[in-house]
Structure formats: C-alpha cells, structure tokens
Amino acid sequence: MILRRLRDTAADARAVQTVARAAFRHFYGTSRDSPDDHVLSTQQLARTRHLARADADGCWIAERDGATMGAALSLRREGVWILALFVVAPEAQGQGVGRLLLERATAYGRGCLRGMLCASASPAAARHYRRAGFTLHPAMTLRGAVDRAGLQDPGDIPVHPGNAGHRHLLDSVDRRLRGAAHGPDHAYMIDHYDELLIADSLAGSGYCYRHGGEVKLLGATSKRIATRLLREALARVPQGRPALVEHLTAEQEWAVDVGLELGLSLETHGWVALRGMRPPMPYVPNGGLL
Ligand SMILES: CC(C)(COP(=O)(O)OP(=O)(O)OC[C@H]1O[C@@H](n2cnc3c(N)ncnc32)[C@H](O)[C@@H]1OP(=O)(O)O)[C@@H](O)C(=O)NCCC(=O)NCCS
C-alpha cells in the first residue's frame, strides 16, 4: 500500500468520492443519516479539488494495486487545522489504513494550536480523534419541514444577499469567533452554495450560507444577529424541501430554540471535535470546512 498526496484531477476527486460513498454506506446502511448522494456527487467533487489546490500537503490518499483504499483531507487556516474528510474503504477497514492516513493529515497541522472537525457517529473515528487530543462535543441535528406560520415577523435587523465583496466582514466575524478566517473557502462556498446572507448593522454583524434545505455555515457577533440570520435562512428553504441544520453543540441552544419554534425535530448525531479551543458561539460550523 502506498500513501500519496491528492492531485487536483477529476480522476482523484472521483476516487475520493467513490471511497467516501462506500465507507459511509457501509457505516450508515440505508438509514436517513446517510449523506445525500447528490451532495456527495456534485459538491464533494468540487470541494475535493478545491482542497487539492489550496492544501496539497494536507490531503492524502491510500492506494493498493492502483485502487483507492482511503483518504484523509485536511486544511490549515490561520493557525487552525481542520479535518475535512476521513474515510477507508469497507474492505480495508480495521487494518491500520485510517491510522496511517490520519498521521499524514495531522502532520500538516503541526504548529497549529487549534483543531476542528465534525465527526460522524463512527466509534472507530471517535477513538482516533480522542487519541489525537480532540475533545468530543456531542452534536445535535435539526431537520424537517419549516412551519411557516412561525415565520411571520419581518425581523428587526436587516438581512440581505452577500457576495465576494463582503469578504472583509466574513473574515472579521470568523476571526472573532474562531480566531481564524475561512480564507479561500469563502470563494468555494460563494460559487457552490445557493446563497450567502449578510446582516450588518449597529447591533452587530453576521453571515449565513444556505444550500437547498441546508444551513451550511453561520457565524455572528451576537445571538440576536445569529437568530435573525437562521430564521431568514430557514424562511428561504424552498417549499416542500426539508430543512437541515447540523453540528449543533449545547453552546448553540439559540439555534435549537429557533428550530424547535419552527417545527423542526431535534436528534443527536456525531460530534464536533475541537482541540485547543472552546466551541465558537454563536456558530453553526460547516461539516467539511468547519
Ligand atoms: C473511521 C475510519 C476512517 C477508520 O479507518 P480504519 O482504517 O478502519 O481505522 P484503523 O484500522 O486505523 O483503526 C481502527 C481503530 O478503531 C477501532 N474500532 C473499530 N471499530 C470500533 C468500534 N466499533 N468501537 C470502538 N473502536 C473501534 C479499532 O479497534 C482500531 O483501534 P486501534 O488502533 O486501537 O486498534 C473508517 O472506519 C471509516 O471509513 N468509517 C466510515 C466513515 C466515517 O465515519 N468516517 C469518519 C468521518 S468523521
């Protein structure tokens, strides 16, 4: 078996996608927690290539006889190391492939005092992360149809669509919340998600990405702004599409309260794993880019 850096090619992106799909299917079976195939096929290909370009030394794949056995993709942003993806093909699990991949990826984070990742419910993954020094924060998921009757107030804080011109605001909010901007990841998110919402007033600032029914990332300087942004994002979920807000630790009760008020159901799922930092708040992390 060899470990090599991921290349920014369609073939490598497809290989990572195939092994990720097989690993998650094997773990989740056909449960509804299994990531959506469409999301895996379009966004993940683009995100894999984005990381291969931006973080070549943090993205590794394992190969045996030319077949991809696993992948660990990680990124580094202003002193925070982030694990974006960690998967091993079902037939190769339990043989130490994951450990070798994670060693390479974590070496890229050497010198970063802080680390973040969103973990699946896999006990094997939790074992790896705890051993790597991460604190595991149990996470909640909100999902379901948005009760639009609960959305009738117009909102006192103005929210408007954002674009790449808001980069300074996004970076400022990120640095205040987690000590690091998302840097090039904003360009990726602006290109691949349906919309970016911005709130910027005397009361504070914040932003939120939404794609379809999913709230992909939200950060704000106060709970009041965060609540307003989350309500607006959920109001914009297309009719008939279920809403999904994931990776909520107990610190994000403001978000849990918004979801419950709008009729979403609350479940536990996986972990937000952090090293050298407390959960940012108010914040809804992005599963792969944190
Ligand atoms: C998590 C994953 C990448 C690990 O890869 P792997 O190659 O099987 O990992 P390794 O063989 O290096 O190590 C497995 C470790 O987990 C342990 N493990 C396996 N199943 C376990 C279980 N049910 N409970 C606790 N520990 C378990 C093994 O004992 C081993 O620990 P050890 O090093 O102390 O012996 C792989 O299981 C996977 O792809 N899972 C599905 C996708 C997923 O959930 N990925 C994580 C996303 S956050």
Domains 2-112 and 142-269 share a fold: yes
What size, in residues, is the chain? 290
Does the domain at 142-269 match CATH 3.40.630.30? Answer given as yes
Per residue of the chain (290 residues), what is the pLDDT tens digit?
A: 999 999 999 999 999 999 999 999 999 986 555 555 555 578 889 999 999 999 999 999 999 999 999 999 999 999 999 999 999 999 999 999 999 999 999 999 999 999 999 999 999 999 999 999 999 999 999 999 999 988 876 678 999 999 999 999 999 999 999 999 999 999 999 999 999 999 999 989 999 999 999 999 999 999 999 999 999 999 999 999 999 999 999 999 999 999 999 999 999 999 999 999 999 999 999 999 99
For residue 233, the 8-state DSSP code is H
Domain boundaries, the chain: 2-112, 142-269
Contacts of 127 (CB under 8 A, 6+ apart): none
Q: How far is the CA of 126 from the centre of ligand 1 (A)?
A: 8
Decide: 120 in ligand 1 pocket, CB within 6 A: yes
Pocket test for ligand 1, best of 127, 129, 247, 290 (most atoms within 8 A of CB): 127
pLDDT at 36: 55
Closest C-alpha residue for ligand 1 atom 5 = 98
The ligand 1 atom nearest the CA atom of 100: 12
Q: State CA 97 to chain mean position distance.
A: 23
Contacts of 164 (CB under 8 A, 6+ apart): 186, 187, 190
Contacts of 134 (CB under 8 A, 6+ apart): 115, 117, 273, 274, 275
Burial class (CB in 10 A: 0-12, 13-18, 19+), 234: buried
For residue 91, the 8-state DSSP code is G
Decide: 160 in ligand 1 pocket, CB within 6 A: no
Q: Which of 56, 52, 61, 43 has its CA nearest to residue 8?
A: 52
Secondary structure tally for the chain: helices H, strands E: 8, 13
Long-range contacts of residues 205-208, Cβ cutoff 8 Å, at least 24 apart = 205/169, 205/172, 205/173, 206/173, 206/282, 207/162, 207/166, 207/169, 207/170, 207/173, 208/232, 208/233, 208/284
Q: What pTM, to 2 d.p., does this model score?
A: 0.95
For β-strands 59-64 and 2-5, DSSP reports them as: antiparallel
For β-strands 159-161 and 265-275, DSSP reports them as: unpaired
What would the two tokens of residue 225 be? Answer: 């702004």
Decide: 74 in ligand 1 pocket, CB within 6 A: no
Pick the CATH number of 2-112 from 3.40.630.30, 3.40.50.720, 1.10.1840.10, 3.90.1640.10: 3.40.630.30
Q: Strand locations in the chain, DSSP E?
A: 2-5, 59-64, 67-77, 80-88, 114-119, 135-144, 159-161, 195-201, 204-211, 214-220, 243-248, 265-275, 283-284
Residue that has been written with the tokens 């965060």 in this structure: 226
Gap between the terminal Cα atoms of the chain:
30
| Rounded Cα–Cα distance for residues 61 and 182 (Å) | 24
The ligand 1 atom nearest the CA atom of 27: 41
For residue 176, the SS3 value is helix
The ligand 1 atom nearest the CA atom of 125: 1
What would the two tokens of residue 24 be? Answer: 């998650």
Decide: 217 in ligand 1 pocket, CB within 6 A: no
